[in-house]
Amino acid sequence: MSKALAQGGRPKARYRTRNWREYDRGLIARGDLTVWISPDLAWHTSEGTGRRGRPRVFTDAAIQAVLTLKVLYQLPLRAAQGMAGSLIRLAGLDWQVPHYSTLSRRQKSLTVTIPYRARGGPLHLVIDSTGLKVLGEGEWKVRKHGADKRRVWRKVHLVIDADSHEVRAVEMTDHRHGDGEIVPGLLAQLPEGERIGVISGDGAYDTRGVYEASAARQADLVVPPRRNGKPWKRRTTGATERNETLRAIRHLGRRLWKRWSGYHRRSLAETAMSRLKRLGERLSARDPARQVAEVQIRCAILNIFNALGMPDTVARA
């Protein structure tokens, strides 16, 4: 008898990967530098900005490519310029290399492209937030000697496609903004014609604004009401759905409702947060606009990694 069964608990589920060979090739491809800079990339631009001064030499895609190297390998701007220049020379291309001052200036207003794979069916989205450090010492030093300077964090809100594990929307705020008030802006980043079937989130999203934003996209919202939650009297589509969820929980119990509604798929957002922080728990940029671009580039990296290969796992019988 297993230890879990002997203690009266459920046995731990075991999984196997069905596409290990393809996934293994994808993991190897994540180290290929040509993924980020290739001859097919539109590097130079001939379009003007409509402003006075010297016209732009590099496209947004070129700036994003170099900044991607910076974020992925946690390089200073000067080292990112040097790495991009070496890759261009090794590829035998006659491209110019953006100066580090150009990278710093363009990052502030950069329009980052976050690639994703279009899907035909309705989306199942999971939403969550996490914090990234801007200022402050390391965790070991704080625990050993205490904090010396003020600790500043930025709050990152992500919308994840539960089927492809890709980031579909991202927003960054300070700690004073609640999770629920950011949801309408996050959903607005998805194309209007794209169908959303289900949106899952934790109890922080049990607000009227989230239910109304979900109803506006004709999506079902899977969010557990607060423990002391009361039915909403205002008759709207969102309030009706929330009251039905409250009645189901009172009838089935919170634990059974979570299994019945598929709420546990929300944990995929926590997995995405963990992957985001593997690119660094600290933001290198100090300016808020540059921090937004840095976070968006991290999301683009995660989506490109997913496109190269993801495991197809199933529970063992």
In the chain, the domains with their CATH numbers are 15-111+286-317 (no CATH), 123-283 (3.30.420)
Q: What does the pLDDT average to over 27-40? A: 88
In the numeric block, which tokens belong to residue 313? 């796992």
Do 300 and 115 contact (CB within 8 A), yes or no? yes
pLDDT tens-digit readout, 283-299: 998 889 999 999 999 99
Do 226 and 203 contact (CB within 8 A), yes or no? yes
pLDDT tens-digit readout, 196-242: 999 999 999 999 999 999 999 999 999 999 888 788 887 778 888 88
C-alpha distances out from residue 170 to 29, 186, 195, 215, 300, Å: 25, 7, 18, 20, 11
Q: What is the pTM of this model?
A: 0.86
Do 219 and 205 contact (CB within 8 A), yes or no? no
How many angstroms separate the CA atoms of 203 and 55, rounded? 49
